[in-house]
Structure formats: C-alpha cells, structure tokens
Amino acid sequence: MTNKNTVFFIGFIFAFAFVVSAAYMGGILLARASVVSPHIVPQSSDLPPIISTHSYPFGQEIIIITVPVSDSVYRGAKLSDKEVTIYGNISEQIWVTESYQSMVNDPAQEDLYRALAEEFKKVKNIHRLSDDEYLELITTFVQSLRYETHTDNPAKFPVETVVDGSGDCDDKSLLLAGLLSREGYRVALMSFGPEAHMSVGVAADDYLYKNTNYTYIETTNISFVGVPSETFRGGLTLQSSPIIIPIGNGTKIYTSGKETRFINNVFLQSEQKSNELEQQLKKLESNLEDRQERITQLKAQMKNVRGSGNIQSYNAQVSLHNSFVSDYNANLSTYRALFAQYEKTVQVHNFILEHEFDRPGVYEYVKQNMPE
C-alpha cells in the first residue's frame, strides 16, 4: 500500500474575447478542457540493453523470467515529469483514468511488454497452462516483485517497476494491468482514493468484488486471484468504492473464481476453528494438570497410610486413585482427539497460506484434507 497520490496541478484557463472581424461578429475563444499526462521521452544512449531477471515460485516450479530492457526507455521513464496537468473543469474520475491509462499504454514500453509476453508464453507452452493458469502465472510474477514505497513518490511507469524489481501498489498494478490487457484479458485498475490504494480487477464469472464486474487482484504480495485485501499496515481496511479504470480491449475472463472462493472460505474457517480449538485445548491442559496434581497428592497419602499399616483405609484410597486415573485418562483421550483435529486444521490453514502461487494444487489439497 502507498500513502501517496499522483501529483498534479490545475491550470485555470480564462476565456478571452477577441474581435476577429466584423464578419464573425466578435466571437469568444474558449480553451478546451484537457489532461496532460506523464509520458516517456527516450534518452539518447549508447549503452546495451539492461538485462532484467526475476525468479519466483509458481505451481511446483521456480520460474525464471529474463528480458532485455532498453536503457534509453528506462532512463527516459526515470527522468520523466510525473505530474498530471489539468486544464479546465475535469472530474477526478476522468483525469485519474486518463493519466493512468497513459502511463500503462505509453508506446515506448511496447517492446518490453512483447519481450515479457514471449517469456510467459514459453512457460505456458511447456506446462500446458490454461488461460486461468496463464493469468495466474503473470499475476504471480508481478506480485513477487519486492514491495517498496516512499512517501510522496509518484507512480512509476511499468518499465521502471520491471527494471527496479520493486514498486508499491500502483506501480505493480499498472504493470500487471498492462501485461494482462495485452494478453487479451478484460482488466481494469481499481483506485481507492480515500485509502490511497490500488489493485487490479479482471472480468470473471464468479467472486466479483463488491458492486464491480471484476474479481479482485492484490498486487502488493502473492495471493490468490479474487481474494480481496482485508487489512493493510496500521490496520487500514478498504471501505470506499474504487474508481474503475479500464485498460485495453481484452475479452477473456477468469473462470476459477469458485475455486479461489472455496479456498478462501476454508482458510477463514480453519483460522477461526484453530483459534477455538486452541482455547479448548488450553482449558483441557489446565484440567489435566489439576487432575495430575490430585493423583500425585493421593499417591503420597496412600504411601503414608500404607506405612502406618491401615490396610482398610489404604484399600479405599486405591479405589479413589483408580477413579482419578480413569477420569484423567478419559480427559487425556479427549485432549489427544482435539489436538489431532487442531493439528490438521492448522496444517490446512498453513498449507493454503504458504502456497498462494499454486491455486490448482491448493484446491485439490484442500478438497482431500479439509478439516471437519
């Protein structure tokens, strides 16, 4: 998450009256409302391409993506003016949309998009990935880039995020939206102004986010497609409705939302269940300790009674001892059964948490091991 917004300023344009000629009866010339968005001016450079390499887990593999990046384009992006200039009365929806679309679609970055797509397609062909898995492959690539933010740091162009190997929510979201749109997916940026957060939405047949037509993709960390962020640093939660910024003209949709919904439901249920079981186990542990202490004290008494030669009293205590032991064993059996259930629940919860780069594998695992 980032605490920054795109830097901008508003130019107030005043209309001036000019007497052009008697024939035109003295018209009024008004400036047209417009948005001047950041753009890349490639710099002159004799340096060879920058070789950008990134590895990340996906499915059962470690994927390595290596692409050449034009040094002149990268330096041009770094040196570009990131301010958005607004002329006239333009709504936030419009200027935010135009500025981000411009940064995603800057033509200087098309060679980079193509190079990355070639690398992703190699992986897709080798592993025979479905369209949903291909989307997840690209998504996990962006999610696995290091999350890094700075106060009042304007959004970066996707080419910068790739070379830097890092970015914050809007930097990584711009990159992901640009990549997915060029692979034919219907995607949009989701801009949450009040929370200063951005994510990506992809059209889907299930697990849609709030009142949008998109399922949610968090880009700041590796997570399942469709699972929205709950909280961010400082306990911030997403409350506002996002501005939807369509990117590209793709038509493909994500069709595994039912699976990620199921996985997330099991994850949340297992978390709640493990907490409940943990509290029950703590109570049982305390009860077992109390029973163990009673048995220990009774044994000491039995030893003294036996030493005094009072056989009748000793035999009565033996019967009580056996009753205590039987009660202890019954509670111990209950404890062990609950602990086994707790252990299985935690195992499923942790497996989901540790394999968010493998939706098909997690789905099959959860179906087979879902706690009762």
**Residue-wise pLDDT tens digits, 294-309:** 999 988 888 888 888 8
pLDDT of residue 371: 75
More confident residue, 298 or 186: 186
**In this model, does residue 23 exceed pLDDT 50?**
no
Lowest mean pLDDT among 36-50, 159-173, 228-242: 228-242
Mean pLDDT in residue range 115-124: 98
**Residue-wise pLDDT tens digits, 130-146:** 999 999 999 999 999 99
Cβ-Cβ contacts under 8 Å for 238 (sequence gap 6 or more): 192, 195, 197, 228, 229
Mean pLDDT in residue range 25-34: 52
**In this model, does residue 40 exceed pLDDT 90?**
yes
CA-based end-to-end distance of the chain = 36
pLDDT of residue 298: 87
**In this model, does residue 19 exceed pLDDT 60?**
no
Cβ-Cβ contacts under 8 Å for 332 (sequence gap 6 or more): 288
| CA dihedral sign, ordered 171, 176, 178, 181 | negative
How far is it between the farthest Cα atoms of the chain?
135
**Residue-wise pLDDT tens digits, 261-291:** 999 999 999 999 999 999 999 999 999 999 9
- Other Cβ atoms within 10 Å of 29 Cβ, number: 9
pLDDT of residue 26: 38
Give the mean pLDDT of the chain: 89
Lowest mean pLDDT among 1-15, 173-187, 324-338: 1-15
* Percent above pLDDT 90 for the chain: 71
**Residue-wise pLDDT tens digits, 91-119:** 888 999 999 999 999 999 999 999 999 99
pLDDT of residue 29: 39
Cβ-Cβ contacts under 8 Å for 167 (sequence gap 6 or more): 145, 146, 147, 148, 156, 160, 161, 175
Dihedrals φ, ψ of 150, to 5°? -135, 145
pLDDT of residue 301: 85
Residue 31: which pLDDT band, with cuts at 50, 70 and 90? Answer: low
**In this model, does residue 225 exceed pLDDT 80?**
yes
Indicate the pTM of the whole model.
0.85
What CA–CA distance (Å, rounded) separates 161 from 80? 14
More confident residue, 92 or 187: 187
pLDDT of residue 25: 35
Lowest mean pLDDT among 7-16, 231-240, 241-250, 347-356: 7-16
**In this model, does residue 34 exceed pLDDT 80?**
yes
More confident residue, 231 or 224: 224
Q: What is the 3-state secondary structure (H, E, C) of the chain?
A: CCCCCCCEEEECCCCEECCCCHHHCCCEECCCCEEECCCCCCCCCCCCCEEEEEEEEECCEEEEEEEEECHHHHHHHHHCCCCEEEECCCCHHHHHHHHHHHHHCCHHHHHHHHHHHHHHHHHHHHHCCCHHHHHHHHHHHHHHCEECCCCCCCCCCHHHHHHHCEECHHHHHHHHHHHHHHCCECEEEEEECCCCEEEEEEEECCCCCCCCCEEEECCCCCCCCCCCCCCCHHHCCCCCCCEEEEECCCCECECCHHHHHHHHHHHHHHHHHHHHHHHHHHHHHHHHHHHHHHHHHHHHHHHHHHHHCCHHHHHHHHHHHHHHHHHHHHHHHHHHHHHHHHHHHHHHHHHHHHCCCCHHHHHHHHHHHCCC
**In this model, does residue 237 exceed pLDDT 60?**
yes
Residue 231: which pLDDT band, with cuts at 50, 70 and 90? Answer: confident
What CA–CA distance (Å, rounded) separates 60 from 66? 19
Mean pLDDT in residue range 197-217: 96
pLDDT of residue 233: 64
